[in-house]
Amino acid sequence: MKILKNKNIVLGVSGGIAAYKAPELLRILQKAGATVRVVMTKNACDFISPLTFEALCGDAVLTDLFDGSYKSAIGHIDLAKECDAAVIAPATANIIAKLANGIADDALTTFMLAVKGRKIVCPSMNDAMYDNAAVKRNIIRLEADDYIIAEPSEGYLACKTEGKGRLADCDKIADKICEALTTKDLMWKKILVTAGPTREFIDPVRFISNPSSGKMGYAIADAARKRGGNVILISGPTLIEPPEGIKFIKIVSAKQMADNVFMNAQDADIIIKAAAVSDYRAEETFEHKVKKAKADRITLNFCKNTDILKKLGLNKKKGQIVVGFAAETKDLEQNAFKKLEEKNLDIIAGNIVGKPDSGFEADTNKAVLFFKSGKKEVLPLMSKDELADIILDRILKSPVA
Ligand code: CTP
């Protein structure tokens, strides 16, 4: 969301029932630091009053091309000149058809023709309408014209049917706008990311694992995708929904993670191992639940798992960049540099775990980056999303990239 700071976004509202959700989107964009202005169609004004948007954005809403009371005589052109991105939410079948055919017969469609920035359209309509051949054709046409489509979701519709046609969630729309505004500096790069914990089962109901939430790895995968990368995310069990537009492989054990990583690592340009892989697995596993024994004490033997990162680092392909993480409870610098060297890494992101604002389950992280050159970079406390972008920035500056 950082990319939205100081950006000029124009929110176009057309006449669909989901128009009532547009103020929520406006607030999300404002909270992220964007300046939002609003253009509405006449029909949209029947669903929601322009006054609502005026109160929220503190600026006049453009509804009419020939409205003498609007602050500028050619308001639609002025707005288009200033705007970094224009998003139409909700977009009816009618406005989609007009945009696909270059029709400019009201304030919103005329404004859209003048926009030079990114354009995002968020369809919302009855499921049968969304499935209609003409609508599909128009959406394909918009995509070909460099529009970004925030696909509607499936669910209960205003017409009391279930189907695909609900306006995409406002958070998802905001995410699409961020994606649209992001420079595609990872275009043509294949990026393999691992995330989350692994589980080493002892019997069908017991395993050893760790509290990794997967947030860091998912943030990296999402940031890399927004920057145009071809991303594969291999993840242990987490509660996070994987980002759209990536190849997602779900695994459970360290062995499954190793198999999938080695299968996909061969032609990867960048490998980032944010997963918290279990170093050991139970030597013996049981087909059925182990029953309580009479003895007060039992002993389990564990054997070592493959160190995936080390194997990748030692077999690095020419030009490939391998990045690891070091989760430590003490002696961060010493341990991180040791891992960097032993595993032949380009960068290692080290952090002290076990603190509330930095570590496994937090949304923020306080990391130190250690580089092959022997340099280190101490980073302040920041969101995992911000850290993800910094790691990708440093990778791109790495001598091998
Ligand atoms: N890692 C891995 N395979 C393993 C263990 C760890 O690929 N079997 C990777 C992790 O994904 C991480 C890095 O190695 O990127 C460091 O993991 P960490 O748990 O901090 O350290 P270990 O190498 O396991 O060493 P130790 O547990 O002794 O700190």
Q: By the 8 A CB rule, do 36 and 9 touch?
A: yes
* Judgement on whether residues 146 and 285 belong to the same structural domain of the protein: no
Residues 147 and 279 in one domain: no
Q: For residue 210, how many other CB atoms are within 10 A of its CB?
A: 16
Tens-place pLDDT, residues 214-247: 999 999 999 999 999 999 999 999 999 999 899 9
**How far apart are alpha carbons 345 and 62 in whole angstroms?**
55
Q: Is the pLDDT of residue 310 over 90?
A: yes
The DSSP secondary structure of 294-363, one letter per residue, reads: SSS-----EEEPP-HHHHHHHTPPTT-EEEEEEEESS-HHHHHHHHHHHTT-SEEEEEE-SBTTBSSS-S
Atom of ligand 1 nearest to the CA of 254: 8
Domain-located, residue 228: yes
Last residue of a domain, one of 141, 160, 181: 181
- pLDDT score for 401: 61
**Cα(149) to centroid of ligand 1, in Å?**
40
Q: What is the pLDDT of residues 112-135, one digit of tens each?
A: 999 999 999 999 999 999 999 999
The Å distance, Cα 277 to ligand 1 centre, comes to 6
Please give the helix or strand (H or E) that residue 110 lies within, else none.
Answer: helix 107-114
Instruction: Kindly report, residue by residue over 164-190, the tens digit of the pLDDT.
Output: 889 999 999 999 999 999 999 999 999
Burial of 182 (0-12, 13-18, 19+ CB in 10 A): middle
| Closest protein CA for atom 27 of ligand 1 | 279
Give the ligand 1 atom nearest the CA of 348: 15
Asked whether residue 177 falls in the same domain as residue 256, the answer is no
86 with 197, same domain: the answer is no
**Confidence label for 193 from pLDDT (cuts 50, 70 and 90):** very high
| Alpha-carbon distances, residue 179 vs 60, 84, 149, 311 (angstroms) | 28, 13, 11, 34
In a domain, 241, yes or no: yes
- Per-residue pLDDT, 71: 67
Whether residues 176 and 262 fall in one domain: no
> How confident is the model at residue 73, as a pLDDT?
61
CA dist., res. 357 & res. 368, Å (int): 15
Nearest C-alpha to atom 12 of ligand 1 is from which residue? Answer: 325
Encoded tokens for 253: 């054990």
pLDDT of residue 120: 98
User: In which band, very low, low, confident or very high, does the pLDDT at 390 lie, cut at 50, 70 and 90?
Assistant: very high
Torsion angle of C-alpha atoms 328, 332, 336, 338, degrees rounded to 10: -110
pLDDT single digits (tens) 46-100: 999 999 999 999 999 999 887 766 666 666 787 888 899 999 999 999 999 999 9
State how far the Cα of 232 lies from the Cα of 192, in Å rounded to an integer: 5
Residues with catalytic function: 159
Mean pLDDT of 20-28: 97
Give the domain CATH number at 318: 3.40.50.10300
| 334 and 224 housed in the same domain | yes
| Ligand 1 centre distance from Cα of residue 278 (Å) | 8
Q: Does the pLDDT at position 159 exceed 80?
A: no
Consecutive H or E run containing 106: none
pTM tops 0.85, yes or no: yes
Identify which of 210, 280, 339 to mutate to test ligand 1's pocket (most ligand atoms within 8 A of the CB).
Answer: 339
Query: How far away, in angstroms, is 285 Cα from ligand 1 center?
Result: 23
Question: Closest Cα to atom 16, ligand 1: which residue?
Answer: 326
Q: Which domain holds residue 57?
A: 2-181
Do 289 and 140 fall within a single domain? no
CA of 353 to the centre of ligand 1 (A): 13
Give, using CA atoms, the residue closest to atom 20 of ligand 1.
Answer: 326
Q: Which atom of ligand 1 is nearest to the CA of 325?
A: 15
Q: What would the two tokens of residue 76 be?
A: 């639609």
Distance 304 CA to ligand 1 centre (A): 12
Distance in Å, CA 370 to ligand 1 centroid? 15
Domain count, the chain: 2
Write down the pLDDT at residue 397. Answer: 93
401 occurs within a structural domain? no
Q: Are 214 and 310 within one domain? A: yes
Nearest protein CA to atom 4 of ligand 1, as residue? 307
Residue 397 structure tokens = 């500056």
Averaged over 181-208, what is the pLDDT? 96
In a domain, residue 106? The reply is: yes
Look up tokens 């290692």; give the residue: 348
Pocket of ligand 1 (CB under 6 A): 254, 273, 275, 277, 279, 305, 307-309, 324-327, 339
Task: Output the residue whose Cα is nearest ligand 1's atom 17.
Answer: 326
For atom 9 of ligand 1, which residue has the closest CA? Answer: 309
Residues 161 and 213 placed together within one structural domain of the fold: no
In a domain, 54, yes or no: yes
Establish if 307 belongs to a structural domain.
yes
Query: Do 340 and 270 lie in a common domain?
Result: yes
Within a domain: residue 327? yes
User: How many Cα atoms sit within 13 Å of 6 on the Cβ side?
Assistant: 0
Mutation pick for ligand 1 pocket among 216, 272, 309, 321 (CB with most ligand atoms within 8 Å): 309
Give the mean pLDDT of the chain. Answer: 93
CATH of the domain at 130: 3.40.50.1950
Choosing from 134, 159, 181, the residue where a domain stops is 181
Same-domain status, 169 and 227:
no
Q: Are residues 118 and 203 in the same domain?
A: no
Mean pLDDT to the nearest integer, 323-330: 93
322 within a domain of the structure (yes/no): yes
